[in-house]
């Protein structure tokens, strides 16, 4: 199964859709606090795209022992992806509204499940529309897929492993700086960050005006400034294990997460860490 580039432009996707064997399209638009992404999907989506819900289909039910967006049960994920028409060895393209921070979660899950040909639409639905490509309100009914979910193709960290990685490697916190510092915490039980983690806000991976991803060179320079080097052991977390996946995607685009040494996801993330009062929380703008 050939690995494809992690990002695809709207023009490249339009060309692929016009070819004889188009990719499967997944629409995963979502926003913290709602309204539901399906409402956006019903107002318009890429032709042939199937809506997949982040909260109910790309995550297991939340809980203090697992966080707000735990990894889905492999059998449940397989059923969701087969319903969407995902087939073995067949390319998949995923999009969200713009910056890829939610689409990256589905990208990571497919890769974790052992499916290599998957990419995120650069600039998402916003870029697609801005370039004048077609949209529709018609909902497709794809033929069921045959994907077999084989979990474990990418590494996952628990809380103890995340703490250890922060000491011996590089653990990146994808949240906004004010949440990393502990100035505010609007969602989870406590403020702060995992001691030793370095702040790598997911919003800085893209151009703030266009939502398009920065170049591999720009991303490499950014991660290098955070202390990530070739061959380093790297992991990422965020509030609930969603936007951290965009850090992992950015690391791959930058060439700093490779098949030989892939970066890891702390799936429970801060929502899991902060639920245990015995786990320490660092504050301020330094790793601690």
Cα separation, 50 vs 47, whole angstroms: 9
Q: Which of 6, 238, 242, 275 is catalytic?
A: 238
Mean pLDDT of 224-247: 96
121 by DSSP, 3-state: which?
Answer: strand
Burial 180-193 (b: 16+ CB within 10 A, else e): bbbeebeebeebbb
Output the pTM of the full model.
0.96
Say if residues 241 and 171 touch (Cβ distance below 8 Å): no
Say if residues 45 and 17 touch (Cβ distance below 8 Å): no
For the chain, domains (ranges, CATH) are: 7-130 (3.40.250.10), 156-273 (3.40.250.10)
Write out pLDDT tens, residues 250-268.
999 999 999 999 999 999 9
pLDDT of residue 3: 52
Cα separation, 54 vs 37, whole angstroms: 9
pLDDT band at 2; cut points 50, 70, 90? very low
pLDDT of residue 63: 86
Cα separation, 147 vs 4, whole angstroms: 17
pLDDT of residue 265: 98
Mean pLDDT of 176-197: 96
Mean pLDDT of 19-47: 93
Cα separation, 67 vs 269, whole angstroms: 7
Is 245 assigned a catalytic role?
no
pLDDT band at 243; cut points 50, 70, 90? very high
pLDDT of residue 172: 98
Does residue 86 carry a pLDDT above 80? yes
């Amino acid at each position: 199964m050939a690995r494809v580039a992690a990002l695809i432009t709207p023009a490249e996707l339009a060309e692929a859709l016009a070819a004889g064997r188009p990719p499967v399209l997944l629409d995963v638009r979502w926003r913290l606090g709602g309204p539901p992404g399906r409402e956006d999907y019903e107002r318009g989506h890429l032709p042939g795209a199937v809506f997949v819900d982040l909260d109910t289909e790309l995550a297991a039910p939340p809980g203090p022992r697992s966080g707000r967006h735990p990894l889905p049960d492999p059998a449940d994920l397989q059923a969701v992806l087969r319903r969407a028409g995902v087939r073995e060895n067949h390319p998949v393209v995923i999009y969200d509204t713009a910056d890829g921070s939610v689409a990256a979660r589905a990208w990571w899950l497919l890769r974790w499940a052992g499916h290599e040909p998957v990419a995120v639409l650069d600039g998402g639905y916003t870029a697609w529309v801005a370039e004048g490509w077609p949209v529709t309100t018609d909902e497709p009914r794809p033929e069921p897929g045959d994907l077999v979910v084989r979990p474990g193709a990418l590494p996952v960290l628990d809380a103890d492993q995340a703490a250890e990685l922060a000491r011996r490697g590089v653990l990146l916190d994808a949240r906004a700086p004010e949440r990393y510092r502990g100035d505010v915490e609007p969602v989870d039980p406590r403020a702060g960050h995992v001691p030793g983690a370095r702040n790598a806000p997911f919003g800085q991976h893209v151009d703030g005006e266009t939502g398009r991803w920065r170049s591999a060179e720009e991303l490499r320079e950014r991660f290098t400034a955070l202390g990530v080097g070739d061959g380093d052991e790297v992991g990422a977390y965020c509030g609930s294990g969603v936007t951290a996946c965009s850090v992992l995607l950015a690391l791959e685009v930058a060439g700093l997460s490779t098949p030989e040494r892939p970066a890891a996801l702390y799936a429970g993330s801060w929502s899991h860490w902060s639920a245990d009062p015995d786990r320490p929380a660092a504050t301020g703008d330094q790793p601690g």
